[in-house]
Chain A
Amino acid sequence: MTTFLVQVLVLVSLAVLVGIWALRFPYPTFWLRPFLPARKRWPEREIRDWLGNGHFHPGFLTFFNRDPEREPPSDLGLVAPADGLVTSAEVRDGIRYLVIALSFWDMHVQRSPAEGKIVAIEPSGDEYMDGEGRNFSFLREKHCPVQTRVVIDAPSHGRLAVRLITSLAARRIEVWPDKGDTLARGQRLGRILLGSTVVLEIPERFPICVERGQRVWAGETLVTLGAAT
């Protein structure tokens, strides 16, 4: 009889596991999450579901809000302002716009690309955020609807700007230093909460050393060579 009870106990336990698995499918179960890489642990479809219902997995929020220490390289040159993928480096009117796209799994704290002084913080598009922080400005004609442009006067590279741009799914932008503050190279600049894009504006005369499709890390990856050509 004891053997039978143990067998039943084992089978019931397994049935519960299969039940949980079936209810969660296609998303990973709680016992599997710790062993999966971030993109598999919190699949994009599941995150988009959370954006819809507002019930985020606490583990994902902890992961999303991570803010690791970064050590800028000793080489001269600008460091990437954000973690993400370089999607464009177009030049217009003497300014190179280095666009870094952030995914849900990228670290979302931005860093100063160079030592310098903040000369302007220019938010725009915030009036299109609703009370829940949801952004409806995509319905307007603006191409980059909600953004904050931080202009930095860097002795080494001249006038730079870092644009923190949100997406449809974004909540809000935080910029921590104030106008007039002096920033160290790689210092924390702010955070896009569930945002998507960071654009670094660099004078064209500084050659960049990253290319489209390359992954960069905020405060660590060099994006320009040190000297102007």
Chain B
Amino acid sequence: MMSFFWSNGHLGWAFFGVLVYSVLCLLAGDIVWRLTPAPFRRILAVMALVWAAGAIALVALW
């Protein structure tokens, strides 16, 4: 588990990837919220699903 967070003197790539991906999801969600007329809760739900799927994929790849 340690190698997930830390490996070979740097952050684990999967952990790093999840952090970066999370921020990008947040900013992308903001753009979607501003540009689409969809209700906020629906956007939130979809973005949460997208984030979860991506995070799981990153961890699975690791």
With an 8 A cutoff between CB atoms, is A10 at the interface? yes
A11 contacts across to B, CB distance below 8 A: 16, 19-20
Chain B 17-55, CB-CB to A under 8 Å as 1, else 0, gives 001100100110011001100000000000000000000
Closest B residue to A22 by beta carbon equals B26
A3, B7: Cα distance in complex, Å: 11
Q: Is A76 an interface residue (CB 8 A)?
A: no
Q: Is the CB of A18 within 8 A of B23?
A: yes
Q: How far is the CB of B49 from chain A (nearest CB, A)?
A: 21
Task: Give CA–CA (A4, B12) in the complex, Å.
Answer: 10
| A residues 1-38 touching B (CB-CB < 8 Å) | 1, 3-4, 7, 10-11, 14-15, 17-18, 21, 25, 28, 32, 35-36
Question: What is the CA–CA distance of A28 and B27 in the complex, to the nearest angstrom?
Answer: 11
Q: Shortest beta-carbon distance, A15 to chain B, in Å?
A: 8
Contact partners of B19 in chain A: CB under 8 A: 11, 14
- The smallest C-beta distance from A24 to any residue of chain B, in angstroms, reads 10
Q: Which of B20, B30, B31 contacts A10 (CB 8 A)?
A: B20
* B30 touching A3, Cβ below 8 Å: no
Give A21 to B27 CA distance when docked, in angstroms: 8
Tell me whether A17 and B23 are in contact in the complex, defined as CB-CB below 8 angstroms, given that A40-B34, A40-B35 are known contacts: yes
CA A3 to CA B6, docked complex, whole Å: 12
Query: CA A26 – CA B34 in complex, angstroms?
Result: 10
Q: What separation, in Å, do the CA atoms of A32 and B8 have in the docked complex?
A: 37
Q: Are A32 and B31 in contact (CB under 8 A)?
A: yes
Minimal beta-carbon separation of B39 from chain A (angstroms): 15
Judge whether B9 and A3 touch: CB under 8 Å: yes
Question: Which B residues are CB-close (under 8 A) to A10?
Answer: 16, 20
B11 close to A (CB within 8 Å) = yes
Looking at the assembled complex, report how far the CB atom of B56 sits from the nearest CB atom of chain A, in whole angstroms: 21
The answer, among B10, B20, B34, for a CB contact under 8 Å with A36, is: B34
Report whether A3 and B23 are in contact in the complex, using a CB–CB cutoff of 8 Å: no
- The 5 A-B residue pairs whose C-beta atoms are closest, nearest first, are A4-B10, A3-B10, A14-B23, A7-B11, A40-B34
18 residue pairs from A and B, CB less than 8 Å apart: A1-B10, A4-B9, A4-B10, A4-B11, A7-B16, A10-B16, A10-B20, A14-B19, A14-B23, A15-B23, A17-B23, A18-B23, A18-B27, A21-B27, A25-B30, A28-B34, A32-B31, A35-B31
Instruction: Tell me the B residues contacting A by CB distance below 8 Å.
Output: 8-11, 16, 19-20, 23, 26-27, 30-31, 34-35
